[in-house]
């Protein structure tokens, strides 16, 4: 049986086209909003594909979808292979979807070859990993599945509509009350491991000519989404520099000087990224006005908690110094944060060995973005990730994953799952 055992990547590619066609955005790319119609359509396609394969399907009260290939010993904890099906607005075809399709390719290949794994292998389509693009809260689907979703997350309002996360769940036919009670679908008691294939969201694998990578850790973050600089509106021609309280100039200085602190930390061996995602003057700013108000959104990420804390110490020092010297006031607003997650060493070794056995070149690297794997690892489920080479970045319509690279990742997954 094993000599004819290959992942069904043709099925995965066909499903990818179906999901694209069902969720294409007229403005470009694809849009599959968390707990919305785009995500619903993608889940329906995966459910239908499982039915065509004759594999049992289950949906938990938070909306996560599970497709199971039964193993020889069904009492053993399951191996879960999965990712998410939602997207950012006008995103690309492969972010999240590639991981679900990789799981389908693996179980479809096993099923059609008549291969019975030692334990159940479950493909999981996680809900709402990209919820942060719609609600100011990430990964509610995986956190609900593991019983770690905070109750107050359910009353967080969507950023572009008068609906809470819990209301959006209920509108899709799911049960936020189960989430509020801390219901658990997956835990160490019934899940041996969670493995997530995902496109790399940066340029490293493309630059190094490698099809896949084994992910070592997922970054934590410290963020300010609603920060402001308050100065004084005044006439741009009539106000000498010494009398100005220019919010825009103060913000520009902060952005430049915080980048210098980032450069210094990198030179000292600390890996991190620092992004001013938004730098803006207030709507009433005009051509002949000195900006009396500016706003910014700051996103700092690292797998090294010390690096995060050092840069934020510099942020607070610079805010005080610049504010006093320029006569402005910084209001950083609430901070959101997540701790770094180191993925399971045993799984990392196992995936590396599987890649070597399959003759697929790879490297190890940390993730730059957050992923559901962090929620599973933090819930006590050993977790790991595979990156697949991807061109043109991510969270945009031009994601360029090559199907031969996807196939390489599927071969690694298959080889690992056969021995699990």
Helix or strand or coil: residue 138? coil
The one-digit pLDDT tens for each residue of the chain (420 residues) are 566 799 999 999 999 999 999 999 999 999 999 999 999 999 999 999 999 999 999 999 999 999 999 999 999 999 999 999 999 999 999 999 999 999 999 999 999 999 999 999 999 999 999 998 988 788 999 999 999 999 999 999 998 889 999 999 999 999 999 999 999 999 999 999 999 999 999 999 999 999 999 999 999 999 999 999 999 999 999 999 999 999 999 999 999 999 999 999 999 999 999 999 999 999 999 999 999 999 999 999 999 999 999 999 999 999 999 999 999 999 999 998 989 999 999 999 999 999 999 999 999 999 988 899 999 999 999 999 999 999 998 999 999 999 999 999 999 999 999 999
Interval 169-215: pLDDT, tens: 999 999 999 999 999 999 999 999 999 999 999 999 999 999 999 99
Please check whether residues 129 and 272 belong to one and the same domain.
no
The boundaries of the domain holding residue 273 are 221-338
DSSP 154: G
pLDDT score of 391: 92
Please check whether residues 291 and 347 belong to one and the same domain.
no
CA dist 216 and 364 (Å) reads 6
For residue 145, give Cα distances in angstroms to 83, 119, 187, 235: 13, 20, 8, 56
Please check whether residues 349 and 399 belong to one and the same domain.
yes
Among the listed residues 167, 105, 92, the one whose alpha carbon sits nearest the alpha carbon of residue 397: 92
Boundary (domain end) residue, out of 319, 338, 357: 338
For residue 307, give Cα distances in angstroms to 121, 319, 339: 38, 18, 12
Interval 16-60: pLDDT, tens: 999 999 999 999 999 999 999 999 999 999 999 999 999 999 999
Among the listed residues 376, 64, 349, the one whose alpha carbon sits nearest the alpha carbon of residue 193: 376
Rounded mean pLDDT of the chain?
Answer: 96
Please check whether residues 329 and 349 belong to one and the same domain.
no
Please check whether residues 27 and 153 belong to one and the same domain.
yes
Tokens representing residue 374 in the block: 């962090």
Q: For the chain, how many structural domains are there in total?
A: 2
CA dist 376 and 380 (Å) reads 7
CA terminus-to-terminus distance, the chain: 17
Please check whether residues 85 and 167 belong to one and the same domain.
yes
Boundary (domain end) residue, out of 283, 313, 338: 338
Tokens representing residue 237 in the block: 């021609």
Query: CATH number, domain at 274?
Result: 3.30.70.360
Helix or strand or coil: residue 353? helix
Q: How far is CA 14 from the centre of its chain?
A: 24
Contact predicate 351/412, CB 8 Å: yes
With a CB cutoff of 8 Å and minimum separation 6, the contacts of 69 are 55, 107, 110, 111, 117, 120, 121, 122, 123
DSSP 233: -
Q: For strand 383-388 and strand 191-199, is the pairing parallel, antiparallel, or unpaired?
A: parallel
Please check whether residues 49 and 143 belong to one and the same domain.
yes
Boundary (domain end) residue, out of 323, 338, 353: 338
Please check whether residues 195 and 277 belong to one and the same domain.
no
Query: CATH number, domain at 408?
Result: 3.40.630.10
Give this prediction's pTM. 0.89
With a CB cutoff of 8 Å and minimum separation 6, the contacts of 245 are 231, 232, 234, 290, 292, 326, 327, 328
């Amino acid at each position: 049986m094993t000599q004819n055992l290959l992942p069904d990547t043709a099925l995965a590619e066909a499903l990818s086209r179906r999901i694209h066609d069902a969720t294409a955005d007229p403005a470009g790319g694809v849009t599959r909003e968390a707990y919305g119609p785009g995500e619903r359509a993608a889940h329906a396609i995966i459910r239908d594909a499982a039915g065509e394969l004759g594999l049992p399907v289950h949906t938990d009260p938070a909306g996560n979808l599970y497709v199971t290939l039964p193993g020889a010993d069904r009492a053993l904890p399951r191996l879960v292979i999965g990712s998410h099906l939602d997207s950012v607005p006008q995103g690309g075809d492969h972010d999240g979807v590639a991981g679900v399709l990789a799981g389908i390719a693996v179980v479809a290949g096993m099923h059609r070859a008549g291969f019975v794994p030692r334990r159940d292998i479950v493909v999981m389509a996680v809900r709402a990993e990209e919820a942060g693009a719609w609600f100011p809260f990430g990964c509610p689907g995986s956190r609900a599945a593991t019983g770690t979703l905070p109750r107050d997350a359910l009353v967080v309002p969507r950023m572009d509509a008068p609906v809470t996360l819990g209301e959006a769940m209920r509108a899709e036919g799911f049960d936020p009350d189960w989430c509020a009670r801390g219901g658990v679908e997956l835990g160490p008691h019934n899940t041996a491991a969670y493995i997530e294939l995902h496109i790399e969201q940066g340029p490293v694998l493309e630059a190094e000519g490698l099809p896949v990578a084994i992910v070592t850790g997922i970054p934590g973050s410290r963020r300010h989404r609603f920060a402001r600089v308050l100065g004084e509106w005044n006439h741009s021609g009539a106000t000498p520099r010494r009398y100005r309280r220019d919010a825009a100039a103060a913000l520009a200085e902060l952005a430049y000087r915080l980048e210098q602190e980032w450069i210094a930390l990198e030179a000292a061996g600390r890996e991190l990224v620092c992004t001013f995602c938004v730098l803006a003057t207030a709507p009433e700013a005009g051509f002949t006005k000195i900006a009396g108000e500016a706003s910014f959104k700051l996103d700092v990420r690292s797998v090294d908690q010390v690096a995060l804390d050092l840069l934020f110490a510099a942020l607070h020092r610079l805010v005080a110094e610049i504010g006093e010297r320029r006569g402005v006031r910084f209001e950083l607003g609430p901070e959101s944060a997540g701790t770094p997650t180191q993925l399971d060493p045993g799984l990392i070794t196992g995936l590396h060995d599987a890649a070597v056995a399959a003759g697929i070149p790879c490297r190890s690297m940390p993730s730059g973005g957050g992923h559901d794997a962090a929620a599973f690892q933090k819930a006590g489920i050993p977790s790991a990730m595979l990156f697949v080479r991807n061109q043109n970045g991510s969270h945009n319509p031009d994601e360029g994953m090559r199907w031969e690279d996807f196939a390489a990742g599927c071969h690694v997954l298959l080889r690992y799952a056969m021995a699990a």
